[in-house]
Every structure is written in structure tokens, then in C-alpha cells.
Amino acid sequence: MRGIQENLNQIQQLGVRPVAISVDSPQESRELCKKAAYTYTFLSDPNTDAIRKYDVLHRGAGVNGHDIARPAEFLVDASGIVRWVNLTGDIRVRARPEQILEQAKLLN
């Protein structure tokens, strides 16, 4: 997530709008954004509706066995079609900004 913030201008210049979705409450997301100085959009999905639609629900992997979202990055075009997916099972493993930029360039 930090890598996205650090490369936000380049990502946006390619027409990509980063959006993070988590089970965290809106207040928790606001606090995280403030603390980490994230300026892109964070959405709250405590009922895991969107998380389930993208098939990234990680049952019982959160604090006290709560469901959370698996680490994942998607590039979705203006028509809503998923054009690229990066899924991992480890919260510490994410797509590098260079990977996202490379894939976004391929979509243009």
C-alpha cells in the first residue's frame, strides 16, 4: 500500500485509480490513512460483500478469527472487466508498484 502511495502520480497518469478495500470500519481506515499519509481511496467492507465478489475472502485469518480479505491487487477497466489480478496468501507479499505500472501500460 505504501508503494502505491509512493508511485501514486505515475499510476494515476496511466488512468488508474487505486482503491483499497478492507473489512476495517470507516473510522479505522481513516486513522490508517492519516497515520500512513495515504491519499488514495480506502473503502470499508465489514460485511465482506465486495471482498466475496472478488473471491478474496480469507476466513478466520484476522484478529480473533475474524474474516479478512486476502492480499490482492486488481486492474479493472472502465467497463468493469478485471484485466489483471495478483493474489497472495501472505499479507506481507504484495504486487510491487513496478508490476502494477507495467500491467497498466499494457491496458492502454
d(CA 51, CA 18): 16
Helix (H) or strand (E) holding 75: strand 72-76
What's the predicted TM-score (pTM) here? 0.80
107 domain residue, yes or no:
no
Would you say residue 104 has pLDDT above 90? no
Please report, for the domain that includes residue 92, its CATH number.
Answer: 3.40.30.10
Residues 43-73: tens digit of each pLDDT: 999 999 999 999 999 999 888 999 988 888 8
Domain that holds residue 68: 2-102
61 domain residue, yes or no:
yes
108 domain residue, yes or no:
no
Amino acid at 45: D
- How many domains are there within the chain? 1
28 domain residue, yes or no:
yes
β partners of residue 74:
85
At 51 the pLDDT is 93
33 domain residue, yes or no:
yes
